[in-house]
Amino acid sequence: MKEYKIVGEHLTKQYKNRKVVNDVSMHVVNGEIYGLVGPNGAGKSTMLKMLLNLTKPDMGEFTIDGVSVQKNGYQTLRKVGAIIENPYFYEQLTGRENLELHCEYMGYPNLEEIDKVLGLVSLKNIDGKHVSQYSIGMKQRLAIARAILTRPEILILDEPINGLDPDGIIEIRRLIQELNKEHGITVIISSHILSEMELLADTVGIMKDGNMIQEISMKDIHEQNAAYIEIETDNAEKAGYILNEILQIKQFRVISDGIIQVFDLSKSGKEISSALMKYGIGVESIQKKQNSLEEFFFKTTRRSLA
Ligand code: ADP
């Protein structure tokens, strides 16, 4: 049995007459990175706000370690650090001063922790700068530092890589992985960037139009969506014959005129293309593909809408 750290059951939130979250349940395993994915407007932030007791659900509840967030907010949310929407800082204070204020505000006396978290997010040598001089990536790291300052068991990040440049994205990804793997923090991230979630998440919850379409582990997505080689030729029929008879490849299918997908990966793309060319078949393109989270997402959301 999996041990769930966080469970959301039958959550519903309505604004005016519209259900922006409609009877959604979610299950976060202790110690994992959970990606709440889906397009803008899917209801991800609303879910996280209900989890953080910032928004009251019309129905349903969240529990953390079996205790209701809606009934026991203080007790449960002490275990949580979060960044929701744009993090606010005092721009004319330094990063360190902002963290000191946070400690005071939270009634957390352990100022030594500030050095540790600044080191963790690689801001230690610039902690004397005013926040107004920080880049977006630095502010995001400072926000994570603030969220983990009181040593939470759970970290909740709403769209943490929005607005970051590629270097910033890599840094935040590494930081999240380190907090999860080395410090054992359970992480929930919401994002509409599927390629990034594919690199980070252990499990994804796919949301669309206020509904939870599916919760699935990335491992299952990869197993169900094995890699294959796709070849575009000028003669699929003859190419099929070569694959079968000459290369002894049995698992392939012709999906349209000229396009073949090969599921038996015992021969490399290079071996296949040179065999085809040897028999005079034109190869327009050949590439290895993996049905990634992106493909899975479109497949499942289309099916659910059909
Ligand atoms: P996501 O985080 O997936 O982009 P949100 O949870 O932010 O989605 O929003 C879901 C829907 O709920 C959107 O259509 C949004 O406009 C609407 N919504 C969110 N908050 C409010 C609010 N306070 N009042 C009215 N509508 C809201």
State pLDDT tens for residues 249-283. Answer: 988 988 888 899 998 888 888 899 999 999 999 99
**Amino acid 305: pLDDT:** 46
**Ligand 1 proximal residues by C-beta, below 6 Å:** 15, 20, 38, 40-46
- In one-letter notation, the amino acid at residue 60 is G
Report the separation in Å between the CA atom of 14 and the middle of ligand 1, taken as the mean of its atom positions. Answer: 10
Strand partners, 50: none
Residues 9, 63, single domain; the answer is yes
Closest residue CA from atom 13 of ligand 1: 41
CATH number for the domain that contains residue 270: 3.30.70.100
Residues 179, 53, single domain; the answer is yes
Where residue 239 falls among pLDDT bands split at 50, 70, 90? very high
Residues 198, 233, single domain; the answer is no
Residues 113, 230, single domain; the answer is no
Residues 278, 155, single domain; the answer is no
**Residues 55-76: what's their mean pLDDT?**
96
Residues 134, 276, single domain; the answer is no
Residues 144, 251, single domain; the answer is no
Instruction: Confirm whether 306 is domain-assigned.
Output: no
CA distance 48 to 194: 18
Which tokens sit at 182?
């080395």
Residues 167, 283, single domain; the answer is no
Residues 177, 284, single domain; the answer is no
* pLDDT of 22 over the 50 cut: yes
Number of structural domains found in the chain: 2
CATH number for the domain that contains residue 164: 3.40.50.300
Q: Counting beta carbons within 10 angstroms of the beta carbon of residue 157, is it exposed (0 to 12), middle (13 to 18) or buried (19 or more)?
A: buried
| Residues 156, 83 contacting (CB under 8 angstroms) | yes
Per-residue pLDDT tens digits for 92-106: 999 999 999 999 988
**Amino acid 263: pLDDT:** 84
- In one-letter notation, the amino acid at residue 122 is S
| Chain mean pLDDT for the chain | 91
Say whether 107 sits in a helix, a strand or coil. Answer: coil
Instruction: Confirm whether 180 is domain-assigned.
Output: yes
Per-residue pLDDT tens digits for 112-160: 889 989 988 889 888 689 999 998 889 989 999 999 998 899 999 999 9
Report the separation in Å between the CA atom of 81 and the middle of ligand 1, taken as the mean of its atom positions. Answer: 22
Residues 71, 140, single domain; the answer is yes
Residues 152, 266, single domain; the answer is no
Instruction: Confirm whether 296 is domain-assigned.
Output: no
Domain span including residue 277: 226-290
Report the separation in Å between the CA atom of 152 and the middle of ligand 1, taken as the mean of its atom positions. Answer: 27
Report the separation in Å between the CA atom of 21 and the middle of ligand 1, taken as the mean of its atom positions. Answer: 9
Instruction: Confirm whether 36 is domain-assigned.
Output: yes
Predicted TM-score of the model (pTM): 0.80
Instruction: Confirm whether 146 is domain-assigned.
Output: yes
Domain boundary pick from 184, 199, 222: 222
CA distance 270 to 280: 15
Instruction: Confirm whether 154 is domain-assigned.
Output: yes
**Amino acid 291: pLDDT:** 61
Domain boundary pick from 190, 207, 222: 222
**Amino acid 257: pLDDT:** 82
* pLDDT of 304 over the 80 cut: no
Q: For a pLDDT cut of 90, what percent of the chain falls above it?
A: 65
Instruction: Confirm whether 133 is domain-assigned.
Output: yes
Where residue 181 falls among pLDDT bands split at 50, 70, 90? very high
Domain boundary pick from 173, 189, 222: 222
Count the Cβ atoms, other than its own, within 10 Å of residue 33: 25
Q: For a pLDDT cut of 70, what percent of the chain falls above it?
A: 97
* pLDDT of 290 over the 80 cut: no
Instruction: Confirm whether 114 is domain-assigned.
Output: yes
Residues 93, 191, single domain; the answer is yes
| Pocket test residue of 12, 15, 26, 44 for ligand 1, highest count of atoms within 8 A of CB | 15
